[in-house]
Structure 1
């Protein structure tokens, strides 16, 4: 009688190993696990969503990401920001919220009324002097927005008697204006993540460079040293195009699994693949924010951070 013994090892589905744990009810700065918002103003459609990552679900901690979207009907300017609170900073979820709200409100205010109309005239004309005036204005506005955000975070840290660094956050911001068939956009980029302007032909313009350090996960965060840095202007990009259909901002929870490397971030093919995935989600603008929140739940091995994305199309 002959017997053969074999060892079978059954590995569980990795998705089944993740727990979903609620944060302590007495934890400071509570934040919803999923947030989504959208707006439709004429031919302008914006949708944004932010979702707690599986690593935060498993650890029972709050979402550290945040976003801001708004639009001025009077002048036609749109404002979008995303922020990623540092995972190692205990109060970073509040830092990201303060940063996007403070900077976003300031930018919207500056682009409303007479100031917004005057800047729109420069962009419509777009001669050499108009371009320089626009660049100067954007440098001023983004620097002021960053300064106000830093000051607001510092004020909160003082009131809460917490270290300022415990509120560390990245900040990516854009202001955009559609004029006839053209899109103007200016971007401020601090930290990791991505900002891209994509055209139907498949071409992408990357509006800045991600900050990366010597090891994975290392980046730069918003503080006074960033504002005082002589290279601050290098964080700002300005462009006007007649072939852009989507302006997209995202935190690294989205960009890391989609693009993987800095070279991947500049791949037209990878951006086109992303837009092809998003188009069915964005078909109905009235429910696009909720569907975007669902889309953010995609599974990618080794990528379980918070995910936030904002799209103008």
Structure 2
């Protein structure tokens, strides 16, 4: 403390500097002086602690703290990580109750589901651990809860009396070979917002001779009556193969082919013999003729009923499944095996080799070339799921054809279907009494920029 005494002598007296050292030594020999110096030292330490405490408080007040924006009806959570302010304790936050949020003292976390939009001020009250008076300080920040984008979309019913009216949403369940099938089709938000119709359609049916059929069609959004085109395409192809004469002939040829090639049949794509290809090609040519006649009889252009189509014909054999597919457009047919952790796209999508704009079964040029590249046949020993979907599911969940062939994306998609998603909505494929209703609920998922009709058939 001698330096302190020298400081006092030089700043607060006019005593000759030559005497300073002697006076300092004398003063340090005095008991009262030493007690005073100890008190001064203690006071100095205390003031430093106070100044450090006030510095931490003021720096926190001045820090530019921005909370991430919340969204109405979507779970919100924010944790105050006070790493740079270890001695501060947030005691309460005023303003959260207005939007149904809470603050947890133990975890320093704001959480809850915001109930309404706001752009308001939050008052954060806090104190310092080393403040003996526990005085509350206040820091004010601005906080925003945005509207839930889903709430901005209207859900106007379509005209039930309109030409070619159809349900805005449908669900079904049934059997498919030795498995189950659930299905759902729902109008896209872009259609619901203006009260227009659902353009997607689907059909599935158990046929004779151990066959089952499923089909999905996606009517072109730009075509006035594409909803009718999609409906006609799926119902025509269903009824075509329900014809006993057609199906019996096909069944006889495929059974013969299977018997002759059973020793060589493995899990792979099979070559389709000409006689089988002929029957399948005839069905699609007849579909085109039917749609052409319909448009002429109703004073429509074929473009008015533009639609895609993806269909699969399946039969169960003792050693596995024979799967035939045909498609025009971009509705994928996909088989997924959980045991083998494999996925296979079973149809030809109009991307890559077939790119150059959306293709529809109502286009004449589709039938000017051989349909063989669009016809596919597979033998599959077993599978967990077989999916047929419209691009309203494909685009938001996969986005690209390469993702559609990625087992990692499909594993994530399966988890999503089972409820691993932000809505917490999923399908229980084991206790499946409400599976089709759950599928419809799941299909209400939010995906920015993806508001098309959604159709999904799941065979499991």
Q: What's the TM-score, normalizing by structure 2?
A: 0.61
1:59 match: 194
1:71 match: 206
1:167 match: 305
Of structures 1 and 2, the larger Rg is shown by 2
2:374 match: 235
Q: Distance in 2 between matches of 1:80 and 1:289?
A: 16
Using a 3 Å threshold, how does the CA distance of structure 1 residues 217 and 21 change in structure 2: closer, same or farther?
farther
Deviation at residue 235 of structure 1 after TM alignment: 1.1
Q: Within 5 Å, which residues of 2 pair with 1:33-44?
A: 33-40=168-175, 43-44=178-179
Q: Distance in 2 between matches of 1:187 and 1:42?
A: 16
Segments of 5+ residues of structure 1 without an aligned counterpart are none
Q: Distance in 1 between matches of 2:356 and 2:433?
A: 35
Deviation at residue 96 of structure 1 after TM alignment: 0.2
Q: Distance in 2 between matches of 1:297 and 1:194?
A: 20
1:182 to 311, 320, 325: 320
8 Å CA contact 1:181–1:242 kept in 2: the answer is yes
Bigger Cα displacement from structure 2, 295-304 vs 277-286? 277-286
Segments of 5+ residues of structure 2 without an aligned counterpart are 1-138, 419-426
Q: Distance in 2 between matches of 1:17 and 1:11?
A: 11
Using a 3 Å threshold, how does the CA distance of structure 1 residues 227 and 206 change in structure 2: closer, same or farther?
same
Deviation at residue 242 of structure 1 after TM alignment: 1.6
Deviations 1:239-258 (CA, angstroms, capped at 9, x unpaired): 11224222211110010111
8 Å CA contact 2:348–2:373 kept in 1: the answer is no
8 Å CA contact 2:312–2:326 kept in 1: the answer is yes
8 Å CA contact 2:219–2:307 kept in 1: the answer is yes
1:142 to 269, 280, 285: 280
Larger RCO, structures 1/2 (Cα 8 Å, 6+ apart): 1
1:207 to 343, 346, 366: 346
Deviation at residue 59 of structure 1 after TM alignment: 1.7
1:91 match: 225
Q: Distance in 2 between matches of 1:291 and 1:120?
A: 38
Q: What's the TM-score, normalizing by structure 1?
A: 0.87
Deviation at residue 133 of structure 1 after TM alignment: 8.1
State the secondary structure of the residue aligned to 2:448.
coil
Q: Does residue 100 of the first structure (1) align with residue 100 of the second (2)?
A: no
Q: Distance in 2 between matches of 1:75 and 1:308?
A: 28
2:215 match: 81
